Chains A and B, each alone.
Chain A
Amino acid sequence: MNQTVSGTKTDTAPEQPPALEVRDLRIRIDAEAGSFTVVDDMSLSVRPGETLCIVGESGCGKSMTALSLLRLLPDGAHVERGSIRVGETDLLALSERRAEDIRGDRIAMIFQEPLTALNPVMTVGAQIAEAVCRHRGLSLRAGWAAAVQALRGVQMPDAEQRAHQYPHELSGGMRQRAMIALALCCDPAVIVADEPTTALDVTVQAQILGLMANLQREHGTAVVLITHDLAVVAEIADRVIVMYAGRRVEEAAITDLFDAPLHPYTRGLMGAIPHVGGVGRLTDIPGTVPPLWNLPEGCAFAPRCPLATAQCTAETPPLRAHRPGHMAACWNVTHDA
C-alpha cells in the first residue's frame, strides 16, 4: 500500500465494470414515533481491487449503508428505493434464499467487533468451514482444510491449532484475523468492512490494515470500508465518500480530498483531528450532528457551517462535480482551496 498517487488502482483499471454498484439508495426507519430517512441519494460504485472509504461521524448513516449492501438491515429499517448490484446481480430483487447464496460468497462483511460477530459456541475453524461448505458444497473434511488454509492466508499464527479454538480464546487481533478469514474464505468479489480496526490497538490496527491491503491485492477484491477515522482513510483508500446526516456531502479520489477538500464539513473534520506532527489550536466544528429524525430544512450542515447563507437553510444542495471526479454538495464551494 505504499504506492504513489499515479499508481493507485483506480487509474490502472478504468475499464473494468464495477464489482458493486449502488444507485439512489434510500433507507428508512419505521419507529413508533414515526418514520424517517436515515440514508438518502446514496450512490456508489467500486471496481475490482479498489478501496472505497465511507467516512463520517456517528449517526451519519454509514453503518446503515454498509448493512444494506448485504441485506442485513435491522428490523424496522428498509430500503425504500434504489438498486444494489453485485456484478450483474440485482441484490434487492432476490428472494431471501437467493440472497443467502450471494452473501458470504460474492459479497462478505467484516464487522467492527469480532467477539460479537463470531459465533461464541463454535470454533473459528468450524465457522469458516461451515461457510465454505455452504457455498462451495465441499465435504466437511475438505471444508476444514479450506478453513485452516484461510486462517493461514490471514497469517494466523499456528493456524491448525487455532482453528480448534473458540473466539474467546483468541486475542482481539487474532479474532479480527479470523473474521477476515471468514469473509475471504469464498473469495468474494466485494468485501464490506465496517470499522474493522476501531476496537483494536494502534499496533494491531496497522497489522490488520496491512493484511487487508495485501489480501486485496492478491485477490483483486473490491473493498468498501466504513470508518470514522480520516487517518485510516488516508492510509488505505483509493476513493472517499464523506457522509453527513444520511447524505454524501463530498466524494473524491484520495489525494484530491486531502489536498483540497471542498465541503466545509470535510475541511472542519480535517482541522479537528489532532495528529502526530500537527500543531496549533484545533478548529472545532461548533454544535453537534443533528438527529436524523429532526433534520433542519435545506442543508443539514448549515447550522454548524461557517459559510452558511440564506440559500443553505432553504434548499438542499445537490452533489455536483466541481473538478473532474471531485464532487461536493454545497452552495458555497470555494474553488481556490
Chain B
Amino acid sequence: MTPDTSDINGPVLSVRDLKVHFPIRKGVFQRQVGTVRAVDGVSFDIGRSETVGLVGESGCGKSTTGLALAGLVEATEGKVMFDGARVGSKTGRDLAMYRQRMQIVFQDPFSSLNPRQRVRDILRAPLDIHGIGAPAERPQMVLDMMARVGLRPDQSASFPHQFSGGQRQRIGIARALMLKPDVIVCDEPVSALDVSVQAQILNLLNDLQAELGVSFLFISHDLGVVEHISHKVAVMYLGKIVEMADRQAIFANPTHPYTELLLSSTPSLDPRKRRNFSVSHDDVPSATSIPAGCAFRTRCPLATEICVREAPPLSLRDGTRLVACHNR
C-alpha cells in the first residue's frame, strides 16, 4: 500500500495499520463510555538516512504515533517491522532490542532531562543499561558524543539547568544517539526554541544524519520546519494519514484539501504575498466524536454526499503519492 521510496535494501522501519485507542471512562465503576481513536490505522515506511515528516494540527494523533513507536504508549493494534522483521512483544529482551534501534527526542528539553543528574550520567545511562562498550570506555564515549552534538566536553559534570534550551535539546539528541539507533522519533524537537537556536538544532540533525545514517520520524506542526528537514511528508488528520508523498510533491502540488488548507494557512515570509484571509470559523472536530465517513468533510470545500457515507481509502495517485479523498 505504501510506495517504496527507500533504497534497494528496503525500508529500515515499516509501520502497518498502527492503532492507538484510549478508553473514555466515567462514573464510580469507571465504565467505558467511549473511545478516543487517537491513531486509527497509520502505515508508512522510513528508509535508511531518510527523514519522514509527520504534520498536522493539535490533536491529530501525530505525537501519539511517535509515542507508540517509541514504546511509550501501548499500541492497540498494528505491526512494526525493522528491516522487514516484525518486532515481537514489547517486553523484556525484545523491548531492550527495540529501544536500541528506536529512540526518541522530546519537545520540551526542560522536562525531559532528569534535573538531578549530571550530563555525563544522563548520557551514560543508556550504555550501562544496554551493556554497550567496556565500562572503562564509556566515559570517553560520552565525551565523544558531547563533542559530536556541539556540547563542550568540559561541561560533562554540569546539570541540565546550567544549560540553555538549545543546549539541553543537544543533550536530548545526544542521549538518543548513544545507542546508535536506526530511527529517532523527534517529537516537535524545535518548537520550544527561539528561531536562531532552532536553526542550529535543525542543521545539527541534518549533519548527524549525513554522518551517521540515522533516520528520523520528524513530528511537527510547523510546515516550514517539516519542508526544510523531510524527504517524505505524511499529513495527518484526526488519527489518519490523509496524504503522503515526497516533500517536493506535497509542497509544490498539495492534493488533499486538508493539505491545501494547511499550506494556504501558513504565512509566507514575503510581505508582498499577503493572503486573502478566509475568515471562516471551522474548528477541528473532537477526537472523541470523529465525523462518520471522511473525517475532514465538516471543513472541506469539496465535500459531497459520498464523503458522509464512506471514509475515503488512502490510494495511490500518479504512482507518486497517496491521497485519501473521494473528490481528488
Contact = CB atoms under 8 A, between A and B. Distances in A.
Interface of A: 1-5, 57-58, 155-157, 171-174, 177, 201-207, 209-211, 213-214, 228-232, 234-237, 254-255, 258, 268-278, 281-286, 288-289
Interface stretch (B6-14, B106-114, B178-186, B268-276): B268-276
29 contacts: A1-B275, A58-B194, A157-B281, A172-B58, A173-B281, A173-B283, A202-B265, A202-B266, A204-B283, A207-B280, A214-B279, A229-B267, A231-B268, A234-B274, A258-B270, A269-B195, A270-B269, A272-B198, A272-B199, A273-B269, A274-B198, A274-B199, A274-B229, A276-B251, A277-B251, A282-B203, A283-B199, A285-B196, A288-B196
A284 B196 contact: yes
B117 interface: no
B166 interface: yes
Contacts of B227: 274-278
B275 A235 contact: yes
A270 B279 CA distance: 28
A278 B202 CA distance: 14
B57 interface: yes
A252 to B, nearest CB: 11
A228 B222 CA distance: 14
Given A171-B283, A207-B281, A234 B203 contact: no
A246 to B, nearest CB: 15
B284 to A, nearest CB: 7
Query: Which of B166, B222, B264, B277 has most chain A Cβ within 10 Å?
Result: B277
B68 interface: no
A230 B195 contact: yes
Given A202-B262, A254-B271, A274-B198, 6 more contacts: A206-B267, A206-B278, A255-B272, A274-B229, A276-B263, A281-B203
A269 B261 CA distance: 27
Contacts of A229: 267
Contacts of B267: 205-206, 209, 229, 231-232, 234-235
Nearest to A4: B272
Name the interface size band of chain B: 35 or more
A231 B266 CA distance: 8
B221 interface: yes
B188 to A, nearest CB: 13
Contacts of A58: 194
B223 interface: yes
Nearest to B195: A272
The 7 closest A-B pairs by CB, nearest first: A210-B277, A274-B228, A272-B199, A285-B196, A284-B199, A282-B199, A57-B194
Query: Which of A155, A177, A201, A209 has most chain B Cβ within 10 Å?
Result: A201
B270 A278 contact: no
Secondary structure class of chain B's binding surface, majority of residues: helix
Contacts, number: 161
A1 B195 contact: no
A63 B284 CA distance: 30
B195 A228 contact: yes
Given A272-B196, A274-B224, A234 B277 contact: no
B265 A2 contact: no
Contact of A273 (B195, B262, B271): B195
Contacts of B195: 57, 228, 230, 269, 272-273
B35 interface: no
A279 B134 CA distance: 43
A155 B228 contact: no
A155 B271 contact: no
B140 interface: no
Contact of A276 (B165, B203, B223, B276): B223
Given A206-B275, A258-B271, A276-B251, A288 B197 contact: yes
B269 A57 contact: no
B158 interface: no
Nearest to B220: A274
B164 interface: yes
A205 B206 CA distance: 29
Interface string B155-177: 00000000011110000000000
B266 to A, nearest CB: 5
Interface in B211-241: 221-225, 227-229
Contacts of A235: 267-268, 271, 274-275
A201 B58 contact: yes
Nearest to B261: A203
B228 A284 contact: no
A207 B270 contact: no
Nearest to A3: B274
Interface string B122-138: 00000000000000000
B169 to A, nearest CB: 12
A255 B271 CA distance: 6
Given A202-B223, A211-B279, A282-B228, A275 B268 contact: yes
B271 A2 contact: no
Nearest to A238: B271
A115 B269 CA distance: 29
Contacts of A3: 274
Contact of A275 (B224, B229, B278): B224
B269 A230 contact: yes
B194 A174 contact: no
